[in-house]
Every structure is written in structure tokens, then in C-alpha cells.
Amino acid sequence: MGSATRVVTHGGRRWVAKAVVPALGPQLAGGLSVATMLEAAGIPACAPMPTLDGSALVELEAASLALLSWVEGEPLTGAGIGDQRMIGEKLALVHQALRGASIRRTAAEHFRMDASGGRCGLIDWIVALQGPLLYDLASAVMYVGGPDHRGRLVEAYLRREVVTATEVERALPVMLRFRWAVQADYFAWPVLNHDLTGIAGRRQ
């Protein structure tokens, strides 16, 4: 919603061209700065290819455009125990890599696993800001199906000791309710304002 992507190929290589409406340009720029930090830490993250003047984005009249590195692999759905463990482990590594950074990712929900190379990466960066680490964890739990499917994911996340088990036990249920509210608002606003970009249609 508010963006479009295309696969770009040349000389046997692949990239992703991502365009967002001008209003989302600053948000995308923030997200891509996080992707760049993660790539520097060895985590595949769809970092932008710089322009000739070193910029991450090209500002056009109708959109802000970025050319992103390709992250190999297939999406992790969280349907299996292995997926849940990998998502929890990778999210913890992301938080460790960003410790002390001036901006953090709000919702690292798109994980891709490259089975041939044994590497897990992240894609689809659009928003980055400072906030609770448990917001990211709540997002991951939400995307794998909710609290009933969180066990292996949270267990793997806690092994890295990014936060304490007590903090997760006390705060994650509250953060999950907040995360669902954010999701509802995210989809309700464009529908109420008749902006159906990326939405199949209105539902009562």
C-alpha cells in the first residue's frame, strides 16, 4: 500500500526497484538506513545501491525510488517449528546488531531463508524509528499466527539475552494488543479515505 516493486535483472544479477509515494520517502529513507547497518553486520537486508552522488533514494515527481540488493531465499511463514525458531533467532541478531544505533526497525516481519546458503535475511523496509524491542517481537508473533504459535519463536529470541524472560512475560501480551491495534488502524485509514491502493476492495 503506497508502494510498488519490480525485479531488475542485468548480467545475471538481480535487484529490487522500490517506489513509494512522495509522502513515504522520508520513512523509506529511514528504513533503508537500518538495512544498510544490518548489511554491514553481515545480515542480508535489502540494502540500497547508492546513486552516483551517494544517495539511497532518487526523488521523482510522482515517487521516491530506490534500487535494493536482492535477498535470496523463500519467505518464512512461521507455520513450522523450524521457521519460528529461525525468525526468533534472526530478530534477536538484528536487535543486537542495532544496539546503540540512533534508529531502530519497527516491524521486521518479512524473513527470507536461503536453504542453499543457510542464510536468513530480511526485506521490505519502509519505517524505522526508536521504540521498544518488544514491538518487533510482538510483530513477529503476530505474523506467525498469534500467541498460540509464539512458543518456539520467543524461546529462540530469548536465547540471545536481548531482553529478559520476565520482561517478555509481563509486557508481550500488552504489546501484542497494541500491535493488533496498529494493524487495524493501518488498514482502516486508507479504506475510510477511499485510497484502495493494494486493497482488493471495501468490506463491511
Q: How far apart are CA 77 and CA 145, in angstroms?
A: 9
pLDDT, tens digit (0-9, with 9 covering 90-100), for 106-152: 454 588 899 888 899 988 877 777 788 999 999 999 988 888 888 89
Which amino acid, residue 114?
Answer: D
pTM, entire model: 0.82
pLDDT, tens digit (0-9, with 9 covering 90-100), for 164-182: 999 999 999 999 999 999 9
Residue 99: how many CB atoms within 10 A of its CB? 9
